[in-house]
Amino acid sequence: MKYLIYLFASFLIVIFAFGILKPIGLGLIIPGLPLLFIICIAVEYASIDYLFFSFFLGIWFDILYGLPIGTFSFYYVLAGVVSMLISQRLLWVETGWKYYLLFIICSEILLLLWIWVYTTTLTHLGWWKVPLSAAQLIHFSFRFVLLNILFAFPVYALINILVSKWSRYNRESIKIK
């Protein structure tokens, strides 16, 4: 049941990103928006449920952007795993929101680097026709990271609200008399 909820949530994120953010001129945040959700779930809740969610969202974004399969899907899964491992294994303190912004900044920069390396490698191997330009990615990188920093804490708050509502819903079981 929860995987159906993840599928529905990923569909809602795609609709929100391409139906609302892109028409109002905030299209630059779209590739980083799922990353905000994935890192928040991985760091804050240390749950591996984000793997299915991140892979499915990555496939959606690969298809919608017309990039090779794995451009977003592999990176979203990798960013979630690395964020969770760093927050759980290397930082021996209760991290919570304290390191969330640092994870966001690092992962957004690495996302741009990953897209460039992945598409360039596939082009050199002859599996893809056009690599993304490093100059173009660098040109948009500052605005990309800045917009994602601005959206980081609203996404964090939204996820915490949804998790608290979901846990309250699970505690209040419906009994038919």
Which helix (H) or strand (E) segment is 66 a member of? none
Show the DSSP H helices in 18-99 as ranges. Answer: 33-45, 50-65, 73-85
127-162 pLDDT, tens digit per residue, is 888 888 888 888 888 888 888 888 888 888 888 887
Report if pTM > 0.85: no
Query: What is the domain partition of the chain in residue ranges?
Result: 2-158
Residue 124's pLDDT band, with cuts at 50, 70 and 90, is very high
70-95 pLDDT, tens digit per residue, is 899 999 999 888 888 887 776 655 55
Residues 132 and 136: their CA atoms lie apart, in Å, by 8
Across the chain, mean pLDDT equals 81
Phi and psi torsions of 67, nearest 5° = -100, 165
Helix axes 50-65, 33-45, angle to 10 degrees: 170
Residue 2's pLDDT band, with cuts at 50, 70 and 90, is low
**Whether residue 177 has pLDDT greater than 60:** no
**Whether residue 175 has pLDDT greater than 60:** no
Long-range contacts of 159-168 (CB under 8 A, 24+ apart): 159/37, 159/40, 159/41, 159/44, 160/44, 163/45
